[in-house]
Amino acid sequence: MNKEMLDLCAWVIKTAKVAGADGCIVNLDNSRSVEISYRDRKPENIKEASTQALNIQVFVNGRYSVQSTSDLRKEALRDFLTNAVTATRLLAEDLYRTLPDPKYYQGRTESDLGLVDDAYSGFSPENRHEMAKAMENACLQAGGDKVISVTSQVNDGSQESVMMASNGFEGYAAGTYYSPFVEMTARDAGDRRPNGYDYAVTVCRRDLPRPEEIGIQAARRTLDLMGAKKIKTETLPVIIENQNVGRLFNGFLGAMFGRSIQQKRSFLADKKGQPVASRLLTLVDDPFISKGLGSRAFDGDGLAARKRVLIEAGVLKEFFIDWYYGRKLGWEPTSGSPSNLVVPPGTRSPRAIMKDLGRGILITGFIGGNSNPTTGDASIGIIGKLFENGEPTQSIAEMNIADNHLKFWHKLIEVADDPFPYSAYRFPSMVFENVVVSGV
């Protein structure tokens, strides 16, 4: 706990109530971020930023507003809070905007979720430069004479925050992160310039892969795009690579939020308790994963975090319902946002699965795309590898898949054994049958 931050939040609540607020929720955040990038074997960007911000939700006579400031001097805060209360009085009533019922604050985990790397303070500028140079050098070597350019980047940071409500909630959170990234552009036939990348994100530095591995993988992913071209439109099985499944799933996820449901913009609104996907899809929201990038003890409303099964064997079980939209819908609140989304892995590797599929496409990236949360219709560009008899035969690009989420996820026929570890989406590669891939 940071006593100075806690004391300031308590003072803000007291001062806001003196100014006329019926209630309030205060969030105070301190963060530090560092970025170093290399290009042409020399530093391109070196940035460091420290920020502090106070955000207050004000409740006055059935009215509500959110106000923010970065000036934390008490004399400035007094004027800020007085003005915030005055401005809130001028707004229209919204009787659904209230402080959460304190019963939902109860049962919060006291476990250490491992979100702070105790060694972070020892991560020196020299360490950052060495990591960036090692990634760039490895990518350049692996890319050989096909390389046009390589950019390597190291981002890292730390943050701590306090959340306090006038009806008794008090919470503290802190975390660190490391995020190395490498991007390569290659020279292909004609004017084609394929671009690929690789990255990792972890809470603790010791959990990162070696920087050389990230650089080599970025080169491999780029070179895999060489000679890419369309094939004829065909109905095929596809394997979506683990780190890309989440991007496609976001279109499905968007229909699971209370806001979308209340505003009648969700194709899932009336589907609770019904099959919405293959029985092979189970989705768990788990806020208690040690060192998980989405792990937390409480959410943005202060509701105690709970592990929840959102989809079980294809059946929709839960939505993301925050306090406000729960009141508007007349539903029990769950949480307004996901923590760590986990799909339990299968038992076979993507490579082993490819051998059994015969002819298909391994999707290694998406381009553009859109998804309609009201209807579930979605379309997205793909890049990847055509494979036959389990072996890659050619790179493909400039192709597209279009379907409806309520149909597409029923086409899931296998889940691989490779959950992606560097994201709050712990998704393995997934295999879908009878997918129409549009090309020539």
Instruction: Examine the fold and report which residue of 223, 246, 264 is the final residue of a domain before the chain moves on.
Output: 223
Domain count, the chain: 3
CA distances from 335 to 120, 175, 322, 324 (A): 30, 21, 5, 11
The model's pLDDT over 157-195, given as tens digits with 9 standing for 90+, comes to: 999 999 999 999 999 999 999 999 999 999 998 888 999
- Report the Cα 86 to chain-centroid distance in Å: 36
Same domain, 17 and 92: yes
Is 311 part of any domain?
yes
- Is the domain of 425 the same as that of 281? yes
205 assigned to some structural domain: yes
- Decide if 114 is inside a domain: no
Under 8 Å between Cβ of 391 and 371: no
The pTM assigned to this predicted structure is 0.95
Please give the share of the chain, as a percent, with pLDDT higher than 70.
100
426 and 286 together in one domain? yes
In tens, the pLDDT along 132-162 reads 999 999 999 999 999 999 999 999 999 999 9
Name the helix (H) or strand (E) containing 13. helix 3-18
pLDDT given for residue 315 in this prediction? 98
Q: How far apart are CA 367 and CA 430, in angstroms?
A: 18
Residue 275 DSSP one-character state: B
d(CA 165, CA 163): 7
Range of the domain at 395: 234-438
- Core vs surface per residue 58-69: b (16+ CB within 10 A) or e: bbbeebbbebeb
* 8 A C-beta contact, residue 349 and residue 417: yes
- Check whether residue 132 and residue 264 sit in a common domain: no
Give the DSSP per-residue string, 369-419: EEE-TTT-EEEEEEEEEEEETTEEEEEEEEEEEEEEHHHHGGGEEEE-S--
**For the purposes of burial, counting CB atoms within 10 Å of the CB of 299, is it exposed (0-12), middle (13-18) or buried (19 or more)?**
buried
Does residue 111 belong to any structural domain of this protein?
Answer: no
What value does the mean pLDDT of the chain take? 96
Judged against a pLDDT cut of 90, whether residue 346 lies above it is answered with: yes
- Give me the amino acid identity at 34: V
Please choose, from the candidates 389, 412, 384, the residue with its C-alpha nearest in 3D space to the C-alpha of residue 400.
384
CATH number, residue 203: 3.30.2290.10
State whether 76 and 188 are in the same domain: no
Q: Is 333 helix (H, G, I), strand (E, B) or coil?
A: coil
Q: Does 152 share its domain with 65?
A: no
3-state secondary structure 278-322: CCCCCEEECCCCCCCCCCCCECCCCCECCCEEEEECCEECCCECC
Domain identity same for 70 and 218: no
Same domain membership, residue 266 and residue 333:
yes
* Structural domain contains residue 110: no
Are residues 341 and 433 located together in one domain of the fold?
yes
Domain membership of residue 324 (yes or no) is yes
320 and 276 housed in the same domain: yes
Q: Which pLDDT band holds residue 440 (cuts at 50, 70, 90)?
A: low
Q: How far apart are CA 318 and CA 297, in angstroms?
A: 19
Which pLDDT score, from 0 to 100, does residue 191 have? 84
195 and 304 in a single domain? The answer is: no
pLDDT above 80: residue 1:
no
Q: pLDDT tens-digit profile of 267-312?
A: 999 999 999 999 999 999 999 999 999 999 999 999 999 999 999 9
Question: What is the C-alpha separation between 409 and 321, in angstroms, rounded?
Answer: 23
In a domain, 378, yes or no: yes
Residue 10 falls within a domain, yes or no? yes
